[in-house]
Structure 1
Amino acid sequence: MMVVDDHPIWREAVARDLTDEGFSVVATADGVAAARRRAEVVKPDVVLMDMRLSDGDGARATAEVLAVSPNTRILVLSASDERDDVLEAVKAGATGYLVKSASKPELVDAVRATLEGRAVFTPGLAGLVLGEYRRIAQSPKAKDGDAATPRLTERETDILRYVAKGLTAKQIAAKLSLSHRTVENHVQATFRKLQVANRVEATRYAIEHGLDK
């Protein structure tokens, strides 16, 4: 993984903490340009991204990193919990957003969840993001596309709801009294129908169509 932050002491401390927890920190960067250059070389699984950088902001850096390493997942770790910062980061492609007041165990859990493809947000910020997606989904433009919406079975819809809530396949299997393999098959079938690549995109679909409730 890679840590992007313009404060060297904080950047190195976070990198050290993550290394101590068994993560492989392959690079660090202090700004947009450096993040792009290093991501293009090391292709990190996860980037821990600050929103205030030496030569721009975290949203721009997120877009730049994903342009050269599209399979990378971006988890924002920022001092800011401003609505615009959160939404800009998510729109740029970030899969989660934590504020820097998060504890070390919370950060470690968030990085692990991000590696698994789950969306992670500081409590309170998730509601903000959900609200924004609902607003977009209810716009006239979104409604115009309803006819193209794929049809999911009742079982697929149930499973997608649980995916949107961050449950693992094993947890979903227990909830629905199904085998782990059956749930995984349903998840993959749902992803194919929705033409999404992973749980993060599926979660966004669920949010946009009100399945996260």
Structure 2
Amino acid sequence: MSEQQTQGNGPAREPATSQDVAGPSGPTTVVVADDHPLWRDAVARDLVEAGMTLLATADDGPSAVHRTKATRPDVLVLDLNLPGMQGHEVCAALGSLPTRVLVLSASGEQQDVLAAVKAGATGYLVKSATREEIVAAVEATARGEAVFTAGLAGLVLGEFRKMSTQPQADPSRPIPELTERETEVLKLVATGMSYKEIASELFISHRTVQNHVQNTLGKLQLHNRIALVRFAIAKGLDTPTA
């Protein structure tokens, strides 16, 4: 088992598919975990060249958990099929750590996607993604957005709806902890809309949408947008009101 610990801060560059949404203060910090050295090093290099700070790399599940807990990056870029621990086990082992997890896997199988998301992954990208798409996905994940390869977001939303077995609340009733605007944003989050789409729908800025989402996460004591979508669907907020 080997680990690398590297730091870098290359020239900043905005990926072609990134959204104009506020991100974490300073460069995005990352850990990359993959057992294929060439792929792992290439992804790490691309992220550093995009202006991110690489805190560490890992080549198996236990070292991914150890290095992530030790460095607490903004984003862990995680392969699913790691020696020692599978990707969903790594996600579960990170518990309430504020680090967001972006799975980058060769598999787009339904069971792999759902296992990772249920264990706490924020997003899921298949390895056929381009360099620009991977960089943009990491930045979006750092901002708290749920990023999925095309077609997988609908799969996850559908599964959350099936998982919601409790009686749904009346979506027209406000959630006491939230303001009217926060509840309005939450309803749109529950439908799978992106921050950009929500901003357009409500005629507000991307930054304002993100602020509402972050405030809502804090009030509801949730850790990421995936958990927020689960909460909203359980409350019936993904169902349009008449």
Same-fold call, TM cutoff 0.5: yes
CA distance in 1, matches of 2:141, 2:120: 13
Q: Give the direction of change, closer, same or farther, for the CA distance of 1:184–1:85 in structure 2 (3 Å limit).
A: closer
CA-based RMSD of the aligned residues comes to 2.9
Q: Deviations over 1:13-61 (max 9, x none)?
A: 1101111111111101011111122112111110000011122311111
Unmatched 5+ residue regions in structure 2? 1-29
SS in 1 for 2:32: strand
Q: How high is the sequence identity, in percent, across the aligned residues?
A: 53
Map residues 25-174 of structure 1 onto 2, 5 A cutoff: 25-64=54-93, 66-67=94-95, 70-137=97-164, 139=165, 142-143=166-167, 146=169, 150=175, 155-164=181-190, 165-167=193-195, 172=198
Moved more, 153-162 or 22-31: 153-162
AA aligned to 1:12 is D
SS in 2 for 1:2: strand
Look up the match of 2:38.
Answer: 9
Look up the match of 1:22.
Answer: 51
Deviation, 1:156, is 3.5
Look up the match of 2:20.
Answer: none
Unmatched 5+ residue regions in structure 1? none
Q: Deviations over 1:88-139 (max 9, x none)?
A: 10111100000000111111111011000011111111111111100011x2
Q: Give the direction of change, closer, same or farther, for the CA distance of 1:193–1:79 in structure 2 (3 Å limit).
A: same
The structure with the largest helix share of the pair is 1
**Does the 8 A contact of 2:114 with 2:156 survive in 1?**
yes
TM-score, normalization by structure 2: 0.73
Deviation, 1:205, is 2.2
TM-score, normalization by structure 1: 0.82
**Does the 8 A contact of 2:104 with 2:124 survive in 1?**
yes
CA distance in 2, matches of 1:192, 1:203: 14
CA distance in 2, matches of 1:122, 1:184: 21
SS in 1 for 2:129: coil
Deviation, 1:190, is 3.9
CA distance in 1, matches of 2:208, 2:31: 35
CA distance in 2, matches of 1:23, 1:179: 25
**Does the 8 A contact of 2:101 with 2:121 survive in 1?**
yes
